[in-house]
Structure formats: structure tokens, C-alpha cells
Structure 1
Amino acid sequence: MKRTRLSVLGAALAACSLLLAGCGGGAAEGGAGSVTEQMLAMPPVDDTAGLVIDGEQVADAELLEAARGDKLVWFTGSGSESAELTADRFTEETGVEVEVTRMPSSKLNERVLSEAGAGRLSAGVVTITDPLLAEGLAEQGVYVPYTEMPTHDVLAGTENVTWADGAFYTSYYSAYAFAYNSRAVAEADVPASWNDLLDPKWKGRMGVVNAGAGGTVQGLAAFQEQVMGGDYWAGLAAQGPRFFDTTSVQLEALARGEIEIATAGFNSTYGAQKSGAPIKLVVPQEGVSGTFNMQGLTSAGQQSPAAKLFMNWTWSKAGQQFAAAQGFIGARTDIEQVPTGEYRLPKADDATFVVYTPEEAEQHGADVVRRWNETFGFNG
């Protein structure tokens, strides 16, 4: 079925064009099938009596029929490319049309609350990358309890997944590690661990996003201090890194060779690599940091079969594994974490995955940013 395409696709293509222009060209990986199939083979889909994907029940016949006569209106704080890919894959597997609105989580939160306050909320599902904002949406009645997913019992028994009695859930986690310019860094010099970034040869050749720029980089700073030790920041600061306010600008600089090593969000960086940028990622020996992506059904979504089907699909085996194929870490730990291309990220319950919890963000976030700024001499 046709899916509504909004400006999110144009933004994703523009970002890819900028990266390719900066690094001298390149092409996305080719092959048969859709873009999503090149990332992860389509699972078996049986819709003869409801919707069964890869042997797992996603919807009964009544919900599936109603959803195919409906349209999903999805507001998301995920990256543009990820939002587009996820919507495409959902349509391919379910036959349900999607209308995507994508913007940064803080602005998304403002819009959702404004629409809800005026009684004009259009989004049936909202995905947001800040757990504290998600809590606020639940408190304001924007998120409403939804416990009808076939996987609900699995989610309820998994740590850090079900929140506010089912008003919202962890859909998947963003992972943060580091990357390098594959044209500028010789294979023999590729770092394998966080400690390798402290080698003097990287002095003046590294880029970092400042810890106050958002929850993912704040979580990374907390991870570095917790896992690598209290003096790790000082060692990294001594390398004289170049500071960035956004990951997108940092990625452009890495692709152009203006920096050679960069701390990096896995999903967005993998997307740049797939688009032809000369960038490769590293899954460090000591582990990766993680932050939450939260998702909930809205008060408007209670009347939308398509929204309910999307909720079911997100936590199905198919939905979780497609998120993993993009470079996220699935919330479900009872299924395999499929590789992200050539990379294998840890599962959410692995010791090498350290998630930055909402409690840590609320209680210690401001202090983490303040001390990071002091250590790095960053004035914002």
C-alpha cells in the first residue's frame, strides 16, 4: 500500500548528499530488493488469519483488517533516516500506510503538548528520546496505558522496558561508541578500545560532542567515568579534541577528514557509512553506553487500529530485529540481537552494555555536564 512521505525523506537525502560531497563521492550498497531488505532480509509474513511475522503473532484478523483501513500518524524524535526506514519496513510487513513527523525530542514534546492542550492531537504513537519528557507525557495524559501487545508479558518481565503501568515502553536503546575515517586512519592504527583513544598519536585529531548537547552524550560521559575510571575525562581532554554541538556536524567533519576519530552514535554513524561516507565504527572491548528511546500510544491513538498495530509490531521479533539492523539495541532480551552490517552490538542485558537510566539523568545529569565542562575547559 502507498505510504505518505513527508519532508523527512528529503532531509535524509540532503544529509547523505552533504556527506558524499564532503568525502568525494561513493554509492549506497546495491543489491536486489528494497533498501530495508538490503539491511535485513524480510521475514516470513502470513496474513491469512491475522498477522503472523516470523512465526510470531502480531495482530488478530480484526485488528489487522481495521488497521489496513486506517493510517498510522507517527511523531518521532528518532533520526530522519531511521524514521523513514522504520516506517517503510512497517508498511512492507503490514500493508499499513504511515505518515511521519520527525523533529528533535524537545520540539516534538512542545508540539505534542500544544496539540493535546488544544484538543487537536493527531499523533497516534509518539516516540521520544528523553525519558524525562516521556514521563511528562504520561503525567499529562498524552500517553495512555496500552497492554494489549502480544508481547506484553515478555516486556513486563524485562528490566527497564515497561513504565508508568504500561503508559509507555522502551522501544530500543541508542548505542554510543566511536568511529574513524577509514581513508585517514591506517588499518594498523585502528583503535580497539576506549583506552586506545588516549594514545598521544590522536592528539588534535579527535572530535567529541559536548556532554551538555543531549541525553546520549551525557550518558556517554557518565559511562566513561563509571567504566573507564575517574581520570578518563582528563586523559581525553589532554588530547585537545575539537568540540561539536551536534552529532550531524561532527559526522560531516569526520567524513571530510577534518577529524580522524570521533565518539559517535552508532545508528546515525552506520547510516552515514551505508550512504558512502568513508567512516567505520568500533565496538570497544570495554563496552558501549546506551540511552533510552521511549514510545507510547496516545489518547488519540486509542481510536486508531493502525497505531495499535504499530505498537504491537515495534516489540515483535520482526520490529526489534529491524531496529537492531539499523544500529540500535533491542529492548527485548529473549531474542537474538542481529548484527548491524559487519558489527555486532551487545544485547541489552549484556554486561558490556551500560544504559544511562532516567533516575541517573534526573539526579546526576546536571552535575555530570558541569564537571565535564570543567575538565575539558568547555564554555559552551
Structure 2
Amino acid sequence: MKRTRLSVLAAALTACALLLAGCGGGGGSGAAGSVAEEMLPMPSVDDSDGLVLDGEQVADPALLEAARAGSLAWFTGSGAESAELTAARFTAETGVPVEMTRMPSGKLNERVLSEAGAGRLSADVVLVTDPEIAEGMVDQNVFVPYTGMPVHDQLAGQDDVVWHDGAYYTSYYSAYAFAYNDQAVDPADAPASWNDLLDPAWKGRMGVVNAGAGGTVQGLAAFQEEVLGPDYWSGLAAQEPRIFDTTSVQLEALARGEIEIVTSGFNSTYGAEQAGAPITLVVPEEGVSGTFNMQGLTTAGEDNPAAQLFMNWTWSKSGQEFAAAQGFVGARTDIEQVPSGPYQLPKADDETFVVYTPEQAAQQGADIVARWNQAFGFSG
């Protein structure tokens, strides 16, 4: 028997509230640490001679000792839940506390550049989701080259991972797919491919985020044109989807049953599902779109051992696998992409994972948004 819309909403929002409350603390303790371990079991940790996680050296003895004597200030533009879980996991694996500051990449950029300009930069490590912002931090001398990761040579051998000789790196990729309310849609009838979304049966039952809302949705729009064909936008627009400005509001509407299907960021949607929302994700057979998450060591953090350890950990096998367990695509291609619960996303070098490059964003972004707006009759 299907639950009523009100009971679905109550269950989803209660569970989400519990998760968010649990993730509100710091460090690797409490509910954030518990949720992190539920997503992916802890690796084997050997700190008898530096730090070795699952057999991979992450820090030598001197770096580990110095890092544990201090702490890390991490500024991130990733989602709040993901940031809390990542900070908790790092602390649990390394014993190093994290002071995490999370805000949208645009506001984060304003704060970091303002602090740097005044000579009071407080961030040791910065993660942003916009390649142009990362470039700006290089231009403003916020990021400093760091090549001390044990896997640096592996990263340097991949495309689009090491930028400006190590001033910043691709930490992992956000993936974009779609999902449905599994209390409103029978799984047997649910769409399995991008082209299934064009079935007239879904007309008026879908939600999308407008292409001008950020790089991830720009990337999705580019993917749809490139992979699914130039007529895909018009076909999707004919479904008369409800258009949102943010993923969070869109997911709330999906959990309430106000809409039944959404195109959405994989990590945030998986987080809502994990929190108890009645949502099921789909990894479409035609592939998924991807966008960059980029991280660098700052002038404030270059002499901080805890910040250096955090950089090492981010690209360690353990750090990359934890990102994948949350619904990201790892940057390293020499290791397998671990599942996100029941879902298997492609590796970064798989042909079904289509990344929206910084060059595309700079050269085509404005045109993509303008044409998308016209196709969907959206005025912003």
C-alpha cells in the first residue's frame, strides 16, 4: 500500500532533519562519523610509522606527528552534508581536527579574496566547484603549488587533474543524473534512460533546475545537447517541467510528491535518499554528465602540516573511495570507483562519463544558458 503524500512528507523531512542535526557537530564523532562509516567501512589504519591507510602511505612520521599537533581550516563550496561527512571521516582516519566553513562557491570566493587582500586569510585549504573561481585564486596568489602528495606522479599522468603545476587539483567530480519519487512512481514503470523522460506519460510531472543556476546544470545542458542530440531540450521542454532555481528546493518538492521525477545532482540526491526521503536514483544507460570540484593549498596553509595531510588524504585511495561512496566520481583512475550504496557510477575515464570542461564553461556557458532559457521559455 502506498503511503499518503502527507505521511511521505513527514517521514522524509523528519529523517532529513535528524541527519542534518547529527551532522552539525565537528570532528569525527557523533552522527556524522556514524553515517560516514555506514556509507563506507573504515579502512585499515596503521600509524606505527607515519600514516598508512589500506596499505597506502599517506604521511611520513614527521608529517603525521606535526599534523596531529595542530588543526585544519577548510573552506568548501560543496554541499553542507557532504562537507560535514568528509571532515568527520578525515578526522576519524587521521586524528586531526577540522574547522570546516561551508558556503556557495561564489560567496566563498568573495570571502577568500577579501581576506587575502587584507592579509588575513584564514583558510588553509579551499575547495570550489567553479573552475573559473579556481583560476581567479591562482591569479590572486591565494593558491600555492603543492606537490607533496605521495600519489602526485599518478595524478600528473592524468588529464585535467593537476592545474598550474600543482596550484590546485581536481579532487573529484560531481555527477548529474535523474531520480524519481518511489512512493508516487512504481519502480516497474520508472524511466531507465534519458530518452524515457520524453515519454508523454511524464508530462507535467517533472522538475528541472534552470541551466543558469550553476556549473553543474550548465554541464547537464551541454551533455544533453552533445550526447542526446540537439532536439533533446525541446523534447524535455514539451514535458512542461516545473523549473527550480536550486537543487535543495527541487528535492524537497520531490520528497513531498509535488513532482515525481527530477534531473538532479547525484551526490545531493543520494544524500536525501540516505536521509530517508522516498527517492530512487537512476544511472542512465546513455551516461551521466560531470563537473569539476577543485581544491588547493593556500598561502595561509602552505606551512601547516595538517593542511598538507588533508591534501594528501583527499587524493589517497581512502579519500577518493569515500568521495565515491557519497556519490561523487573520483579523480583517480588507477583505482576502482566504489559504489554509492546500490548505485554504480562510471569512472572518470569511462566514455559514459562526460565532463563539462573549464574551456566549455568559459567559451560556451553564456550561450548555453541563453539558448536553454529560450527553449524552456524561462526568463529567470
Offset of 1:34 from its aligned partner? 2.0
Match of 2:302, SS? helix
1:295 is the counterpart of 2:284: no
Alpha-carbon distance between aligned partners in 1 of 2:179 and 2:187, rounded to the nearest angstrom: 13
Aligned to 1:319: 319
Is the Cα–Cα contact under 8 Å of residues 11 and 276 in structure 2 kept in the other structure?
A: no
Alignment of 1:247-266 (within 5 A): 247-266=247-266
Alignment of 1:99-114 (within 5 A): 99-114=99-114
Aligned to 1:9: none
The one-letter code of the counterpart of 2:374 is: E
Aligned to 1:371: 371
Alpha-carbon distance between aligned partners in 2 of 1:326 and 1:278, rounded to the nearest angstrom: 18
Check 1:143–1:195 CA distance in 2 against 1; reply closer, same or farther (3 A cut).
same
Aligned to 1:218: 218
Alpha-carbon distance between aligned partners in 1 of 2:244 and 2:69, rounded to the nearest angstrom: 45
Match of 2:72, SS? strand
Alpha-carbon distance between aligned partners in 2 of 1:24 and 1:264, rounded to the nearest angstrom: 18
The one-letter code of the counterpart of 2:215 is: G
1:337 is the counterpart of 2:326: no
Aligned to 1:11: none
Aligned to 1:179: 179
The runs of 4+ residues in structure 1 deviating greater than 4 Å are 22-29
Aligned residues: 360
Is the Cα–Cα contact under 8 Å of residues 155 and 161 in structure 1 kept in the other structure?
A: yes
1:60 is the counterpart of 2:60: yes
Alpha-carbon distance between aligned partners in 2 of 1:291 and 1:99, rounded to the nearest angstrom: 26
Is the Cα–Cα contact under 8 Å of residues 20 and 26 in structure 1 kept in the other structure?
A: no
What are the superposed Cα offsets for residues 186-211 of structure 1, whole Å, 9 maximum, x if unpaired?
Answer: 12211110000000000000000000
Alpha-carbon distance between aligned partners in 1 of 2:15 and 2:215, rounded to the nearest angstrom: 32
Alpha-carbon distance between aligned partners in 2 of 1:20 and 1:318, rounded to the nearest angstrom: 35
Offset of 1:21 from its aligned partner? 3.4
Check 1:24–1:367 CA distance in 2 against 1; reply closer, same or farther (3 A cut).
closer
Aligned to 1:137: 137
* CA RMSD in angstroms, aligned pairs only: 1.5
Is the Cα–Cα contact under 8 Å of residues 87 and 98 in structure 2 kept in the other structure?
A: yes
Aligned to 1:21: 10
What are the superposed Cα offsets for residues 162-185 of structure 1, whole Å, 9 maximum, x if unpaired?
Answer: 001110000000000000000000
Aligned to 2:190: 190
Offset of 1:160 from its aligned partner? 1.1
The one-letter code of the counterpart of 1:92 is: A
Alpha-carbon distance between aligned partners in 1 of 2:267 and 2:10, rounded to the nearest angstrom: 21
Alpha-carbon distance between aligned partners in 2 of 1:35 and 1:378, rounded to the nearest angstrom: 39
Alpha-carbon distance between aligned partners in 1 of 2:9 and 2:93, rounded to the nearest angstrom: 31
* Structure 2: runs of 5 or more not aligned: 1-7, 20-30
Match of 1:34, SS? helix
Alignment of 1:63-102 (within 5 A): 63-102=63-102
What are the superposed Cα offsets for residues 203-228 of structure 1, whole Å, 9 maximum, x if unpaired?
Answer: 00000000000000000000000000
What are the superposed Cα offsets for residues 110-164 of structure 1, whole Å, 9 maximum, x if unpaired?
Answer: 0000000011001100000000000010111100000010010000001110001
* Structure 1: runs of 5 or more not aligned: 1-18
Aligned to 1:163: 163
Check 1:349–1:256 CA distance in 2 against 1; reply closer, same or farther (3 A cut).
same
Is the Cα–Cα contact under 8 Å of residues 12 and 275 in structure 2 kept in the other structure?
A: no
The two structures have a TM-score, normalised by structure 1, of 0.93
Offset of 1:22 from its aligned partner? 7.1
The one-letter code of the counterpart of 1:190 is: A
Check 1:20–1:310 CA distance in 2 against 1; reply closer, same or farther (3 A cut).
farther
Is the Cα–Cα contact under 8 Å of residues 225 and 233 in structure 1 kept in the other structure?
A: yes
Offset of 1:24 from its aligned partner? 6.8
Identity of aligned residues (%): 76
Alpha-carbon distance between aligned partners in 2 of 1:61 and 1:71, rounded to the nearest angstrom: 17
Check 1:297–1:184 CA distance in 2 against 1; reply closer, same or farther (3 A cut).
same
